[in-house]
Structures are given as structure tokens and as C-alpha cells.
Chains A and B, each alone.
Chain A
Amino acid sequence: MKPAAFHYHAPSTVEEAIGLLSEYAPQDGHILAGGQSLVPAMALRLATPAHLIDINNVEELGGVRTESGYLCIGACVRHNAFEQPIVEGPLGRLLATVVRHIAHYPIRTRGTFCGSLAHADPASEWCLVAATLGAELLAQSTRGVRTIAVEQFFQGVMTTALAPDELLVEVRLPLLSKETRFGFSEFSRRPGDFALAMALVVRGEETRIGLGGVEASPRRIAAADAAVEPLRDPRYSAEYRRDLARTVVRRALEQCS
């Protein structure tokens, strides 16, 4: 299970990175960040990028800051940065609660928050967080920078609004007010496995309910009994997944009541 050969590039600035991406995207070029999803796909030869642009040495992308009511997370921020609350207040605690469900510790030392969003696996916890909170995603290419609202970002299984030559440089999550309560519930077969269903409830001025792991993309739902279109899976029937969706939403709601 060895990956196919590729050309390796290691830019040290965002400028360089998007330049390389612009040049090689048409030739099956791909960004390498944490690699925790990309490398197994390459080992199975499900992904065979001819060029890998390793952004791990781009210092500009490694930071977290708050700005104008948002937590701004750079492309290379690892999952384990969130294990201790990265910011004061409910958002930091929410992220620290959710992160424990992501794979296992050794994967969290390498995998990145932004990488999860760019990868758009239906079972990604961070994608659910982004969708529920109404994140903003910053995509940069040689053509410029644009902000993509999360409602437009997820377009299906492993499919996003990013153009092949765009690098997801930053994700912005709205900071939550002090009184905000949240609840998170995930069901998977073993700890760290892909979620079969997960729900995030955030009760601030408004109540937001997000459902993930069941459908092609995570999304906000209106109530626990929302109509849900589960992914097709030979092991878990649609009826079972819908049942599970109701359960995790209920449990998440209970946690923040």
C-alpha cells in the first residue's frame, strides 16, 4: 500500500504556496497540511496527486488570533491546539469538548482544523462546528482572496466550493457570548472512529442545531425531527441513521438545557 510517485514542494510563504498551487493544480497538484486524511488516501491510491505542496513550513499559516468578534484559525493549526481552550469563553470550551472526539491523540498532533474543512468528510467534527456556528472561510489564490460563507462551502461528500487553485488560508468562527450554552453528542462504534451521527447545539441569543455524520454535508437543522437524507451505507440502514440522528440531537439538546 505505497503511494504513487509525486513531486514534492515545500514553500515557506503563502505567496509561494499559491503560486505553486496555481501552476500545478491543473496537473493534479494538491495541498499537503496535516496529511492524516490525504496520506491514507494516497496509500490506498484513491488519491494520486502528481504534485504535493507542503504548507507545514509556512509560518504565516500557523497562528490563531481573535479579530472583530471572530476566532481566526490559520491553515496549519493542529487539532491538538484546541485541547486546552484556545480562547476564553464558551467557544474555547466548545472546541475543547469537540476535539476529544476527533480520531486519536497521535493524529491530532498532525491533523489541522482547516485541513478537515478542505477535505469535507461527512464525518468531520470541525465541519459540523463550522456549519453550525456559521463560519467564514478565507480562500486565497493568485487571483486574490475571497470569503466563502459556510452555507456555500460544503457541496457534498469531499466536495467544497474551493477552486483547485485555491488555498484555504483561514477559517473564522464567531466568538460566542458569555451566556452561551452548548451541547455535543456523537455516536461512533469505537472512540475516534468516523461518526455515524453527531449533533452540536448552541444556545445563545438564538438556538442553533447542527447535524453531521449522517448526510453528505453537515448542516443546521430546525428541530430534532428534521427530514434527514442519510448517506447510503451497506452496514447501516437509512432508518437506523435517521434514528441515530434524532438520538444525538436529543442528547445534545439535553446537555445544554
Chain B
Amino acid sequence: MQLKLRVDGAERTLEAEPRHTLADVLPTHAGCEHGVCGACTVIVDNEPVRACLMFAIQARGKEIRTVASLAACSTAGEALHPLQRAFNEHHALQCGYCTPGFLMLALPLLDRIKKMTDEELREALSANLCRCTGYQNIVKAVRAAAEAMR
């Protein structure tokens, strides 16, 4: 079956069966495939969504954004989004597997994050799992990015 999806501002035609999830047709990471870890988080119509819990066919007609659209352009030495820069500066990634998911979780919530207490921010970020960092630097990086985007 041919499927047309809008991904990162461009139209893409894919071969997919109804049972292929969005996580399978997009280059997302997949940490569990049952909707708990959040590593597959993408943005669909401006909201964070777990790509492994949505069939690709359901994403027709929606605007999908992946981490690839975060930076200004896609070659080395490009300008990074403040979120990406903050993650690098604050060492908020080690293996990097959870990172795209956290970026896509935090991006749509950045406006709200500015008003959150540390406890509320940690609860919001508790949506996604990380096994390497212990979260401390992720919290710092997200906070710093929210401040930088005031």
C-alpha cells in the first residue's frame, strides 16, 4: 500500500501495510514498542505523540515533525536549535538513544516549561525514560533552553 505522509515539511511516499506503526516508517528510535519509554516520540500536529502507538496510516493529512527538523539545516556545522545546543552544553545525553524522544517531548512544551517548578518539570519529563544520564542534566538543559527562548 502506498502511503503519503508529510514529514518535516516535505511530502513523502512510503510503502506500508496498515499494521506498520509510525515508529516503523519513520527513522525514530524504538525502546519498547509498547508505549512506555517515549524514545519514539515525534510531533504530530504540534503535539508530542508516541510513534509506536499510532499506525502510519492514521497519520495521513497530519504534520509530522521529527528531530531532523529541529536544526536549521541538515549538514555539519549547522545552527542548532536552542534545545539541541542546551543538551550539548549541559551534557544531557550519553548514548543518545532517548535524546530525540526527549527533544520532541520538550519542544511543544517549552512555553509551559517556563512556568513550571522543578518538581513539575521533573514530572513532565517523567514521561520518557533515560537509562544513562540519571535525568539531572536533561532537566538542566530543558530549563536552560526554555530560558534562552524567552
A58 nearest CB across to chain B (Å): 13
Cα-based distance from A107 to B57 in the complex (angstroms):
18
> Which residues of B sit under 8 angstroms from A36, Cβ to Cβ?
35, 50, 53
> Which residues of B sit under 8 angstroms from A35, Cβ to Cβ?
53-55, 58
| Complex contact B19–A2 (CB within 8 A) | yes
State whether A106 and B58 are in contact (beta carbons under 8 Å apart), knowing that A39-B52, A192-B126 are contacts in the complex. Answer: no
> Which residues of B sit under 8 angstroms from A1, Cβ to Cβ?
33-34
A2 nearest CB across to chain B (Å): 7
Task: Give the residue name and chain of the B residue nearest to A42 (CB).
Answer: B19
- The answer to the question of B109 belonging to the interface, with a C-beta cut-off of 8 Å to chain A, is yes
- The answer to the question of B142 belonging to the interface, with a C-beta cut-off of 8 Å to chain A, is no
| Complex contact B55–A104 (CB within 8 A) | no
- The interface size of chain B toward A, counting residues with CB under 8 Å, comes to 27
Contact with B along A95-114 (1 / 0, CB 8 A): 00000000011110110000
State whether A107 and B18 are in contact (beta carbons under 8 Å apart), knowing that A1-B33, A35-B55, A40-B35 are contacts in the complex. Answer: no
- The interface size of chain A toward B, counting residues with CB under 8 Å, comes to 30
A residues neighboring B (CB under 8 Å): 1-8, 10, 32, 35-36, 39-40, 42-44, 52, 54, 56, 80, 104-107, 109-110, 190-192
Given contacts A43-B33, A191-B123, 20 further A-B contacts (CB under 8 A): A1-B33, A3-B21, A5-B17, A5-B18, A7-B18, A10-B57, A32-B55, A35-B54, A35-B58, A36-B35, A39-B35, A39-B55, A40-B53, A43-B21, A44-B34, A54-B58, A56-B58, A80-B47, A106-B50, A109-B48
